Structure 1
């Protein structure tokens, strides 16, 4: 199978409008680099990927779509995105789009923008493409993003940075491709001291310590616009479970760890207690925002 040269992307890939710089060939390619475009089939051979697996992709598909924390997360992202995008036509890129549930909701909420879903995993992108053929899909490695400097208005990533060994390189790539005034949004897992077999089996390179991602974003050059944690009402129970996992993980095999992960995901996905706590948290978050939680949300701007 041959590579699809990103220098010859046709206008049909942009159903809403053509991105700035397209006519001059200066939007999505520089230095002869290439990316793989998804159409009816995936073009190009596998890219190297040591940050995720097909087993994990399959295991997470339903929880990512319907699990309480991911549903709540997408709601919070859309709330912020509405403020960012407004009525303007923007080029919006999601890296680590997986099966495309977030970008699908983004397109549905703000259809006037031009959306590009990217990921390393073929099957997730294929599933997203089959549901969202009006969204462009590119297979690429975001440590070397196939977008030219200052060509994107908004880039976001949900629970991906923790899978990347050199997260600073990826953050820098996000900064590079953004236009001045453009926004970048990250969601990551919090609690460096809570790294357990669950994180290990999901190829997490880290959980983020307090202030770690803030520092990395500022070091890159971003101005941090908004920073908060969520699932903080659930955090005490989450903390205890992670501490228990750390102890258990020392004496079980890799196979047993994976079975435990599958069980944990299944049991937590539709917890009525957790769902109730998230509804309460939505109301309380208007009054205050603790500096702890299961996940951290950071919105940055390139000045």
Structure 2
């Protein structure tokens, strides 16, 4: 895939599709937008595993207007929401199933898995499957919570198995045939400021609940409240000073999540 300039008319902003502006989520998305700017302009196909409310896939559908996209989730409630949100774009296909065990059709130029692998016990197999689904030279955008020392009640509530360490991710990407183009931390300083509030909120939410990791995972991507696009854009713009600070320290370990842009190595 060769890089070609993207016409101005195609340069969609990620906040144009938002309906779920949670602070940590927004901090992640603005950095993903920087990743997307590095991608070739002729992406023809993409797969998003665990798309949540679909904000990112809708953005990619606008940014790459010739690409077909597949949004895959094992939660039927998630698919019901996505069906409403993607009805205006026939190039976006919805699939229900567990990407670890289901059969897959074809390969992709780009795969996205944001806040997914921490929900998977056997994440090495997950990396292998993603590598197998990518075309040679294809790209993988990945995000996950960072640092086990930052384990918190939100991880328990969401059904996580782990938070990742930097060296661990480098090893797993390399082992499965990827070259890492960028590995950034995200969330700082918003996640630090909101930590006490999040601990209290998820502590109260956990009281009296004994959900399985699977049930916790199914609800984790769709629990954010839906609001109007104008309100979402307003809230997203309020965080601009924090986006600036995050961008200054994205190559440090100050954040509480990792974002990775990796490319599948072409055969020699």
Q: TM-score, normalised by structure 1?
A: 0.64
CA drift of 1:108 comes to 2.3
1:101–1:128 CA contact under 8 A, matched in 2: no
Distance 1:146 1:283, change over 3 A: same
2-side partners of 1:288 and 1:197: how far apart?
Answer: 25
User: Which whole-Å deviations, capped at 9, do the CAs of 1:259-303 have from their partners, x for residues lacking one?
Assistant: xx9xxx89xxx9x9x986x52343345555322312110111111
Among 25, 33, 49, the alignment partner of 1:78 is: 33
Equivalent residue for 1:139?
A: 96
My pick for the range that moved more, 176-185 or 285-294, is 285-294
Of 175, 187, 191, which aligns to 1:219?
A: 175
Which is bigger in relative contact order (C-alpha 8 A, separation at least 6)?
A: 2
The question of 1:193 aligning with 2:149 is answered yes
After superposing the two structures, state which structure 1 stretch, 105-114 or 139-148, moved more. 139-148
Structure number with larger C-alpha Rg:
1
Structure 2 unaligned segments of length 5 or more: list them: 1-17, 226-231
Matched with 2:134 is 178
For residues 175 and 225 of structure 1, the distance between their equivalents in structure 2, rounded to whole angstroms, comes to: 15
Equivalent position of 1:114 in the other structure: 68
Q: Structure 1 residues 64 and 293, CA, compared in 2 at 3 Å: closer, same or farther?
A: farther
Provide the aligned C-alpha RMSD in A.
3.3
What's the offset of the Cα at 1:177? 0.8
Q: TM-score, structure 2 length as denominator?
A: 0.71
**CA–CA distance in 2 between the matches of 1:196 and 1:235?**
12
Q: 1:89 to 1:222 in 2, by over 3 A?
A: closer
Matched pairs, number: 224
Match of 2:124 in 1: 168
- Within 5 Å, give how 1:248-263 maps onto structure 2: 253-255=207-209
